[in-house]
Chains A and B, each alone.
Chain A
Amino acid sequence: MSGAAPFNRERGLMRRVLRGAQSFLAELTAVRPARESVRAKLMRVVSLTAVIALLVAGSALLWHDLTVYRHSWTSDLTTEASILSISMAPALAFDDQAAAERNLVALEARSQVLVAALYLPSGELYADYVRSGATAPPARLPRVVAGTRISGERVELTQLIVRNGEWLGTIYLRARYDVMGRVLTYLGILAVVTASSLIAALILSTALQRGITAPLDSMADVARQIVHQRDYSLRVQKTTNDEIGLVVEAFNSMLNEVQLRTRALEQSNAALQAEVQVRNAAETALERANARVESAMAAAEIGSWVWDLQTDEAKVDRNLAALYGFDDEKKLNDDPVLRRQLIHPDDLAAVGGADAQALRTGVLPSTEFRIVQPDGSSRWVARRGKMHFDAGGKPVLMAGVLIDVTAQKLAEHALRKSESLYRAIGESIDYGVWVCDAEGRNTYASEPFLRLLGLTQEQCSNFGWGHLLHPDDAAATMEAWRECVRTGRLWYREHRFLGADGEFHAVLAKGVPIRDENGKISGWAGINLDISRLKHTEDALREADRRKDEFLATLAHELRNPLAPIRNAAKLLEAPGADDRQRQWGRDVITRQVQRMALLLDDLLDVSRITSGRLQLRKQPVDLASLVASAVETARPLIDSKQHVMETVLPVESIELEVDPLRLSQALSNLLTNAAKYTDPSGHIRLVASANAGDLSIAVSDTGIGVSAEAIPKLFEMFSQVDSPVDRAEGGLGIGLALVKGLVALHGGTVEAASDGPGRGSTFTIRLPRTGVVSAKRRSFVSATASRPAAGPRCKVLVADDNSDAAQTLALILNMSGYEVHLAMSGREALAVARRERPDAMFLDIGMPDMSGYEVAENVRREVWGEHALLVAVTGWGQPNDKEKSKTAGFNHHLTKPVDLDHVEQLLAAFSKQLHSRDGSGQSGGEGGRDWGRAG
């Protein structure tokens, strides 16, 4: 379309102008900094709107104008052409070229028209008019396109000349199109108008905006003042009756409110300040208290925990972690399994059970359990907790503490231990422990005391014990007790209780008041010592003392007895006139009396030794028969002198006893002597020895004066003599039976007396425990008088082995070979026996529990007497190492079990030969025997 192109060019231009205006406006309306005054904003708004409006209006007008201009121009031209074509039509129709040109020339008047040309339908140029300076029209118009075409500053019009439906020709017009000038003119006008309008608008708005900004300014001023001076009494004056006026009103009323509220606020502020101070103080106090609690809990080693039941998560605090031995609670909180792991396995069940119970019943039972510390040690802790419920009563969480109770637990243990200890002590001591309340009513008495009185605790309580006081003491004692309770003095009194045994027991009571921290008496505690035994002891001692005095008197007397004849005899010997026979008699008397004295003194010494425990038995295997024979022999003279009949009954089998033959013989002979002494002449004395299962009994019975029942207990006491003419006549110290008792007791046996009564004779029975060896063959030779034990035919041998069969077998063999064999069943026993017997040879087992053979040997070697002894190790250990050890320990030989008995005999034979050759003196026993091994 020919017309479109020029139009589009216009539009492009317009668009460019618009775009420029847009960007300019965009910049204008860009965001401004905050503190731009309202006035400035208003001005900006006004100017912007004015400019925009003007620009838009101007642009629209311009565009419109251009459009209209174009329209009018083209329509003018078209009209012109139409007019021309009408006037040209006749010329063309009637081919009047001159007329055509004449018409065209008339266009001279139209200054805008540059070229007018007339073309025939064939396209030939018919007539034209060309203004000077203008380009000539085309000579031919080959193609006719009617219409207008604007190009730049020119507009071309082509129109068909049609008359009466007949195309007569084409008219072509070219005219000036002075658009740019117009645009520029228009723009100029627009600019001027815009500028002036803008100025006018600005001026106007400057004037008018006061209506808005003035009240705003005053509001702002007031607001600023208020802010600066905090004076809420200021108000804004309402000057306008528009929205701003409303705002001002509102502002004022707001200020009113603010003022009121400020006042109220200030008041409440003041109150608040005070409150805040108080609260701060409280907070600080709370913080401090919290800190104290924290540190107290830390110091007290109390940790706290919270168990959220809904999430099944437990959280512990620092203190609890410290109980577990951790620095902080992080590890424990992050790892619940760890917490379980650190509980002692034995206590896990209890803890789990407590948890389950808590979940079931809502109450967590207090649990005590051990937790393992990092260093491996255990620590007792007690866990307590409380369940917390939500509004609906559903358990939500549990919170509690963990307390270190190690100390308590240990204390508990210790307490329990000490309690049981004290109880044990309390129950074991034989005096009464009692506790009374502040009024003196008994609340506790120990078991021994209750047993003594035969009461139960209920019976003893209050003053129940009072009924058992000795009638003589009762009233006074109760009175004294009451007085004591009242005054609070120490209770210290002797009184007697009727015991459950029916006897009165003397009791020494001692009691102290228990005072509380105020000094007030809260109770009484004391002990009742049964001093009846003491009393008895006192009496006994007194009695013994008396008897001792008696004894001493008797002793003096008895000793003096022989002194008289000795003196006489001595005097006789001095006398010059005494003859040989008299002198002999004197010597005999002296000898006899001295012997008598010696015997007395010997007995005395023996008794003294026995009582002081210094009497040593030299036990050896002794044949019963020979023992009895020896005893009988000793008593024979007296028996015969009184013409008693002596009967001896012995068991069929020969019995061997491990006893001191001298001492036992002594005891037996004492009994026999007594029997003889206390029986009227031609009496009957009978000795019966019988072997029972556990012991051996030797009973000596006589048909003598007997013993009264009450005297029997006292018989064996020292210095007791049956007060009888016999004693007076025969003399004696009255220590014989005591001696017997002592001697038998040393052997581990007992002696008892029995009598049917005075004049009915008496029986004295010795019972001895049987020791193992029953030998059917050998009887050791027992010497009667020698104070030294009989020496064996060869050397003394000690066999020590904790295996009794081994020991006894070896001992037996050696015994059969004629050695004096001593047995020991342990190392210590071996050493003890060795020290006592000083054997020449020792066969020692090595592996003995209490002391090894090595040690025994070492000890023996240290002894002077053991230096040259033959020490043979007899043991299952046979390694060269063991033999070395034996050698180091001092053994001469090392034999391995089972021992070769021939070898043993050879060893011993060789050794004893060596021994005897060394010694040089005689060997076999008999009186005065050898004194081997005894330290010189």
Chain B
Amino acid sequence: MPLSSNARRLRMALTGLAAACAIGTVAWPAAAAESYSEDAVKAAFLYRFTGYVDWPANALNDPQFTVAVLGADGVASELERLLQNRQIQNRPAQVRSIKNIKELDGAQMLYIGASHREDLRRLIAATAGRPVLVVTNEEGGLDGGSTVNFLLVDQRVRFEISLDAAESSSLRVASELLAVAIRVRGRRLTEAGCDEAGSSADVAACIREAARR
């Protein structure tokens, strides 16, 4: 009906406008990825990751979503700022800067900064069996057992994903995220014949295919 579609459009426009106004203050700077600090970008990515990851039900018993940040104060502060008015997984989110892995507690997400050059494996092993999305920020981070690892490619923040790690954390990663990851590894992929060193597009397609299977 003309009238209602008109109204709909009006609503859409207003929503858009409101959204633009609302987002403008935060997302604007966030979107301009080049002009923002790396920390900010990483923080943004961290936040956005939560949109593409599924946690198991028992992990979300907490009324709050906690992101633990270990050894990355810059990112932590950025992320804190980011999460002020936002929700993750439909619950208020908070950032907890931790010094120790033991402080993880019920955080659903862990970011290990590059400053901790310890054995990632041991750190990440502490989270084993727990549905925690571990994001690392160093070369070979995935080897340590993280699910996502930031990479800096052409001065752009990129990331790679380990499906196995996700699996062991009982997390599921959306294929869209896989598509935009620079690298994706995983047993299934190997089995599917998708070469982890292939072009992103192929990999993406392969992943998609694999995901479909």
Interface residues of A (CB under 8 A from B): 1-4, 7, 67, 71, 74, 86-87, 89-96, 98-99, 102, 120-122, 144-148, 159-160, 162-169
Say whether, besides A94-B48, A99-B179, A163-B48, A168 and B31 are in contact (CB < 8 Å). yes
19 pairs, A vs B, C-beta closer than 8 Å = A1-B10, A2-B13, A3-B6, A4-B6, A67-B2, A86-B176, A90-B48, A90-B179, A92-B31, A93-B44, A99-B204, A120-B32, A147-B12, A160-B16, A160-B20, A162-B23, A164-B47, A164-B48, A165-B87
Q: A94-B180, A121-B28, A121-B31 are in contact. Are A167 and B23 (CB under 8 A)?
A: yes
A100 nearest in chain B by CB position:
B180
**Complex-state Cα separation, A165 to B17, whole angstroms:** 13
Give bound CA distance, A235 to B5, whole Å: 67
What residues of B have a CB within 8 angstroms of the CB of A95 in the complex? 33, 41, 156-157
Task: Given contacts A121-B28, A148-B9, list 7 more A-B pairs with CB under 8 A.
Answer: A95-B157, A145-B16, A160-B16, A165-B87, A166-B47, A167-B20, A167-B22
Do the beta carbons of A3 and B5 come within 8 Å of each other?
yes
Contact of A122 among B31, B156, B179 (CB under 8 A): B31
- The residues of A that contact B179 with a CB separation of less than 8 Å are 90-91, 96, 99
Q: Which of B9, B10, B30, B201 contacts A102 (CB 8 A)?
A: B201
Residues in chain B near residue A91, CB distance under 8 A: 179-180
Instruction: Kindly count the residue-residue contacts between A and B in the assembled complex, taking CB atoms under 8 Å apart.
Output: 116
Query: 5 tightest A-B contacts by CB?
Result: A146-B16, A167-B23, A96-B180, A90-B176, A121-B31
B57 at the interface (CB under 8 A from A): no
Docked-complex contact A93 and B45, CB < 8 angstroms: yes
Q: A93-B45, A160-B19 are in contact. Are A145 and B13 (CB under 8 A)?
A: yes
Q: How far is the CB of B137 from chain A (nearest CB, A)?
A: 15
B180–A90 touching, CB < 8 Å:
yes
Q: Bound complex: CA of A95 vs CA of B158, how far in Å?
A: 8
Q: Which of A1, A89, A165 has the most CB of B within 10 A?
A: A165
**Among candidates B13, B33, B45, B51, residue contacting A163 with C-beta atoms closer than 8 Å:** B51
| Residues in chain A near residue B23, CB distance under 8 A | 121, 162, 165-167
Interface residue B27 (Cβ < 8 Å from any Cβ of A): yes
Say yes or no: is B115 at the interface (Cβ < 8 Å to chain A). no
Q: Which of A2, A90, A121 contacts B27 (CB 8 A)?
A: A121
B24→A121 contact, CB < 8 A: yes
Chain A, interface SS category: mixed
CB distance from A172 to the nearest CB of B (A): 13
Are A1 and B6 in contact, CB atoms less than 8 angstroms apart?
A: yes
Say yes or no: A94 contacts B159, CB within 8 Å.
Answer: yes
Give every chain B residue within 8 A of A165 (Cβ-Cβ): 23, 86-87
Residues of B within 8 Å of A163, CB to CB, are: 48, 51
B34 — nearest CB in chain A belongs to which residue? A95
How far does the Cβ of A338 sit from chain B's closest Cβ, in whole Å? 89
Bound complex: CA of A92 vs CA of B48, how far in Å?
10
The answer on a CB contact under 8 Å between A144 and B20 is yes
| B200 on interface, CB distance cutoff 8 Å | yes
| B1-57 CB contacts (< 8 Å) to partner A | 2, 5-6, 9-10, 12-13, 15-17, 19-20, 22-24, 26-28, 30-33, 41, 44-45, 47-48, 50-52
Q: Which residue of B lies closest to A120 (CB)?
A: B31
Name the residue of chain B whose CB is nearest to the CB of A89: B176
- In the complex, which of the residues B2, B30, B45, B174 has the most CB atoms of chain A within 10 Å of its own CB atom? B2
In Å, the complex CA distance between A167 and B9 comes to 18
Q: Does B177 sit within 8 A of A, measured CB to CB?
A: yes
What's the Cα separation between A102 and B205 when bound, in Å? 11
Chain B: which residue is nearest A7 at the CB level? B2
Q: Which residues of chain A have C-beta atoms less than 8 A from B5's C-beta?
A: 3, 71, 74
Contacts of B12 in A (CB 8 A): 146-147
Judge whether B48 and A3 touch: CB under 8 Å.
no
Closest-by-CB residue of A relative to B35 is: A122
Q: Which of B13, B16, B48 contacts A93 (CB 8 A)?
A: B48
Q: With the chains together, A688 CA to B19 CA distance in Å? A: 192
Closest to B21 in A: A167
Assembly CA distance A147 to B87 (angstroms): 27
Contacts of B44 in A (CB 8 A): 93
Do A147 and B48 touch across chains, with their CB atoms under 8 A apart? no
The residue on B at minimum CB distance from A70 is B5
Q: What secondary structure prevails in chain B residues at the interface with A?
A: helix
What residues of chain A lie closer than 8 Å to B177, measured between beta carbons? 90, 94
Q: Are A2 and B2 in contact (CB under 8 A)?
A: no
Interchain CB contact under 8 A, B48 and A166 = yes
**Which chain B positions have C-beta within 8 A of A144?**
16, 20
- Asked whether B180 lies within 8 Å of A168 as measured between CB atoms, the reply is no
Using Cβ atoms and an 8 Å threshold, which residues of chain B touch A121?
20, 23-24, 27-28, 31-32
Q: Mark B166-201, 1 if CB is under 8 A from A, else 0.
A: 000000001011011100000000000000000011
Bound Cα distance from A168 to B47, whole angstroms: 13
Whether B45 contacts A94 by the Cβ 8 Å rule is yes
B16 engages A147 (CB within 8 Å): yes
Who on chain A is nearest to B159 by CB? A94
A144 to B, closest residue via Cβ:
B20
Contact assessment for B28 and A122 in the assembled complex, using a CB-CB cutoff below 8 Å: yes
Residues of A within 8 A of B6 (CB): 1, 3-4, 7
Partner of B13 from the list A7, A146, A168 (CB cut-off 8 Å) is A146
B39 CB, nearest partner CB in chain A, Å: 15
CA distance A166 to B46 in the complex (A): 13
Bound CA–CA A93/B42 (angstroms): 11
B177, B180, B181: which has the most chain A beta carbons within 10 Å? B180
Q: Could you tell me the distance in whole angstroms from the C-beta of A170 to the nearest C-beta in chain B?
A: 9
Cross-chain contact A147 with B19 (CB below 8 angstroms): no
A347 vs B105: C-alpha distance when bound (angstroms): 152
What residues of A have a CB within 8 angstroms of the CB of B159 in the complex?
94
Whether A99 contacts B16 in the complex (CB less than 8 A), given A1-B6, A7-B2, A122-B32, comes out as: no
Looking across the interface, which residue of chain B has its beta carbon closest to that of A166? Answer: B27
With both beta carbons as reference points, the residue of chain B lying nearest to A164 in the complex is identified as B51
Once bound together, how far apart are the Cα atoms of A147 and B14, in whole Å?
10
Give the residues in chain B near A146, CB-CB below 8 Å. 12-13, 15-17
In chain B, positions 66-89 with a C-beta closer than 8 Å to chain A are: 86-88
A168 to chain B, nearest CB (A): 7
A639 to B119, CA, bound (A): 248
**Shortest Cβ gap from B131 to chain A (Å):** 19
**Bound state CA distance, A1 and B176, in angstroms?**
35
Q: Given A122-B31, A160-B20, verify A147-B176 contact (CB < 8 Å).
A: no
Residues of A within 8 A of B51 (CB): 93, 163-164
A162 to B31 CA separation, bound complex (whole angstroms): 12
Minimum distance in angstroms from B40 CB to a CB of chain A: 12
Give the residues in chain B near A4, CB-CB below 8 Å.
Answer: 6
Closest chain B residue, CB of each to CB of A148: B9
Most B-side CB within 10 Å, residue of A4, A67, A90, A122: A90
B residues within 8 A CB of A71? 5
Q: Known contacts A90-B179, A93-B45; is A99 also within 8 Å of B27 by CB?
A: no
Report how far A2 CA is from B52 CA in the complex, Å: 35
A129 to chain B, nearest CB (A): 15
Distance between Cα atoms of A166 and B88 in the complex (Å): 12
Distance between Cα atoms of A144 and B23 in the complex (Å): 13
A74 to B27, CA, bound (A): 28
Q: Are B86 and A164 closer than 8 Å at their CB atoms?
A: yes
Partner of A3, one of B9, B156, B200: B9
Q: Which of A74, A90, A162, A169 contacts B52 (CB 8 A)?
A: A90
Q: Compute how far the CA of A92 lies from the CA of B30 in the bound complex, rounded to whole angstroms.
A: 11
